[in-house]
Structure formats: structure tokens, C-alpha cells
Amino acid sequence: MLAAACAIAVVLFFSAFFVTITHAQWNESVTGRGNTGVPVNLAFTNKAFAPSGSPPELAVSSTTTTTIDSTTLSALPAACGTNGCRLRVTYDYFVSGGVVGVCYVNDGGAADWDQSQAGTVSNHTPCGFSSISPEQFSSGATPTVTVYIYDSGSANVCGYQSPTFTDATCQSSGIQGYLQVEVIQSN
């Protein structure tokens, strides 16, 4: 009896695991193959982070919300229909200094989202995340995606990170920060 109960528990566990994996693959991994419910990438933009200065950096005052970067999309395609598209936003920056910071996105909707939070380690911290917008957009919409930072200490968002990730200060070259936005169909 105990062996049968264990066997049922194992089957249920693996069934739930399989359904979770299948659901994730259905919604995230497969794109544009004509399957109903599968997101289709309709547009893509990549914006390199380019603050001024030498080395290029953006100053962040202690306990002040600061805009890191922003991009406005062209009119969304007709395939979006009425509220048929979402935005997949990916950003990655390097922060020098600060204490405990949070980076997040707003796409013109009521809620902030796509949040990354970190405490400063050895005077440098990554600020990056990727997520799908909670807002839905219709064709013709021109959403503006903005990335913000709030830190409890003074910091700099660097234009470049050292390729070896060992230097805690902003660099004049190396790995450049970026903001990417995909327009995807959603049901």
C-alpha cells in the first residue's frame, strides 16, 4: 500500500513538472510558427546606453529616482489589433557606487515592473532584467519604455563595464549597457 502511494506521488510530481515546462515553452520559447497562442515577434529595437562624460556615466543622487534611459516605439503594427500586443523589455547596465539600489521599467501604464534589486558588492552592481509588460497595447500605439534607478546612496550608471568585471569604476570602453524592446503578440 505504501509503495503504491509513493508511486502515485512520484507520477503526480512529474506530471506537474511536465505541465509547467510545457506551459513555459508554449508561452516563451517558441515564436512565430503559426501556432495559436504562441507569441510572434513583430518588432525589435536595441538602444545602446550612451551617457555623456569621459568615462561616460550618469550620476545618481542618493534617494532620488533617476531616469537611466528611455525609448519610444514607432506605431505598433496592425497585427496588434485591439490590446493584442505586449512588450518584452530587456535592459542591462553597470552601477558603480551606491548602497542598495533598485532598477525598474515603466511603459506608460499605471504600474512599474521588470524590477532588479541589488546591494553593492565591491563598489559595483549589475542593474538588469528581462520581462513581459503587464500592459497590453493596440495597433498604432507608440509606447515609451523608460528604465529608472533608485539607490539609497550616491552612484553612477556606467556607459561601459570592464570586460573582466574586476574594475569598480566606470570605463571608457568595454561591455556597453543597453535597452532592448520586442513587440510580441499575445492572446
What does the pLDDT profile of the chain (187 residues) look like in tens digits?
444 443 333 333 333 333 332 333 333 333 343 445 556 788 999 999 999 988 899 999 999 999 999 999 999 999 999 999 999 999 999 998 888 889 999 998 877 887 887 766 666 788 999 999 999 999 999 999 999 999 999 999 999 988 776 677 888 889 999 999 999 998 6
What pLDDT score was predicted for residue 38?
Answer: 54
Torsion of CA 8, 9, 14, 17, to 10 degrees: 140
Query: Which residue is listed with cell 556607459?
Result: 159
1 in the same domain as 83: no
101 in the same domain as 143: yes
What pLDDT score was predicted for residue 187?
Answer: 66
What pLDDT score was predicted for residue 149?
Answer: 94
78 in the same domain as 10: no
Q: Please tell me the distance from the alpha carbon of residue 178 to that of residue 167, in angstroms, as a whole number.
A: 19
What pLDDT score was predicted for residue 80?
Answer: 94
Domain with 151 in it: what CATH number?
2.60.120.1340
57 in the same domain as 129: yes
91 in the same domain as 58: yes
76 in the same domain as 14: no
105 in the same domain as 144: yes
48 in the same domain as 23: no
Number of domains in the chain: 2
List CB contacts of 14: < 8 A, sequence separation 6 or more: none
Range of the domain at 122: 39-185
Query: Which residue is listed with cell 520559447?
Result: 29
82 in the same domain as 26: no
